[in-house]
Amino acid sequence: MITTEIKNQLMLYIQQYQETAGTFAGFQVIYEYINFIKTEPYTKELLGDIFSYVETQKQIALKLNDKNELEQYSVNKMKLDANNPPTFPFFQQENENWQGKMKAQEPANNLIMLPICLLSLIVVYDLMVKAKNNAKAKNITEAERLAQVAKEVSLATFSFTAQNTRGESMDSSINVGHFQLECLAMVSKYIFDQIDSQDFIADSQPKNAIEFDPKTSILNIRGTKIKIARKNDNPTDHYILEAICDNPDKTEETYFKDIAQDYIKVEGYDSSKDWQRFRHACDRLNRKVDKSTKGRIKDFILYSTGKTGWSKINPKYL
């Protein structure tokens, strides 16, 4: 999935949650959201270190409750006191940073809250996963109990204590539905900012930032280096790139027949069937680029099939 599609999908999740916040269906949206960013190659790579850190904090948080379930966040079940470490043992670094900014009356970067927001969404995700797994295992009673927990918690309110700019402790509370919407927005903002800044930098680079070195068989796409040939014998996709990049005008179509005769040195090219070899090579090349760019570029090579089959670099990447 290219980055534009990723942004559209995340926006769709936020819109769906806005329509279902405070309901069981809202928790289903959160489940789908977390499942998406955990499995989509780009976001999985981007958030990898944050996921790992959040997991360590989650294990600390779960020790607050022997049952290790989301009930601990229900109304009056748990009071988070940011000024009392024994009852707030997780995310201490974030809490100290936030409180320090408040005491100094300095603006705090909201991204301090990113790991906390991600954990809040993951806790919901874990609950839904547990319910689904019990249902699959035909433990219907337990699945229904967990579903009931999700229904109750989706409408719950939890309380916490924090300091204002004057250093005074204040008791506050927040609705779970509203807080989870803020969490979805925070995590999505982080992803959007990374995508947009990368696209801005890429667009600012020279448009000829696509190179292929036939000696090393390395394709360079704006700094991303992709090894094409893994063995001594160059594959067909190597010759496709060599032929395309030899042409000063990379927007032109390079015909399979010419690649076969001029680069692979094939004698007796059969236009009725030999084009299939090049079609498969183009597909293979696109898969390599897709994997190496973590889903940002899926259609690097365009091609046609048949007797007059050709290939070229997709103009939008030139």
Residues 69 and 163 in one domain: yes
pLDDT confidence of 89, banded at 50, 70, 90? low
pLDDT confidence of 202, banded at 50, 70, 90? low
Residues 96 and 179 in one domain: yes
Strand partners, 220: 211, 225
- Last-in-domain residue among 203, 230, 256: 203
For 33-90, give the DSSP string.
HHHHHHHSHHHHHHTHHHHHHHHHHHHHHHTTSTT-SGGGGSTTT-EEETT-GGG--S
Residues 188 and 216 in one domain: no
Model pTM score: 0.59
- Last-in-domain residue among 150, 184, 203: 203
The boundaries of the domain holding residue 274 are 210-317
How many structural domains are present in the chain? 2
Residues 172 and 230 in one domain: no
- Among the residue ranges 29-43, 58-72, 108-122, 184-198, the one predicted with the least confidence is 58-72
Residues 191 and 224 in one domain: no
**Do the Cβ atoms of 237 and 300 come closer than 8 Å?**
no
SS3 track for 286-300: HHHHHHHCCCCCCCC
Residues 150 and 194 in one domain: yes
Residues 100 and 165 in one domain: yes
Q: What is the average pLDDT value for the chain, to the nearest integer? A: 83
Residues 188 and 232 in one domain: no
Residues 162 and 26 in one domain: yes
Residue 185 is predicted with a pLDDT of 95
Residue 302 is predicted with a pLDDT of 95
- Last-in-domain residue among 156, 186, 203: 203
**Do the Cβ atoms of 17 and 181 come closer than 8 Å?**
yes
Residues 167 and 228 in one domain: no
Q: Name the residue with higher pLDDT: 257 or 296.
A: 257
Residues 127 and 262 in one domain: no
**How confident is the model over 204-233, as pLDDT tens digits?**
555 456 889 999 999 998 878 899 987 777
Percent of the chain with pLDDT over 90: 51
Q: Among the ranges 7-21, 75-89, 108-122, 229-243, which has the highest mean pLDDT value?
A: 7-21
pLDDT confidence of 7, banded at 50, 70, 90? very high
Cα 238 to Cα 131: distance, rounded to the nearest angstrom? 49
Q: Name the residue with higher pLDDT: 231 or 66.
A: 231
Residues 115 and 27 in one domain: yes
Does residue 67 carry a pLDDT above 70? no
Residue 309 is predicted with a pLDDT of 94
- For residue 91, give the nearest of 125, 126, 64, 130 by alpha carbon: 64
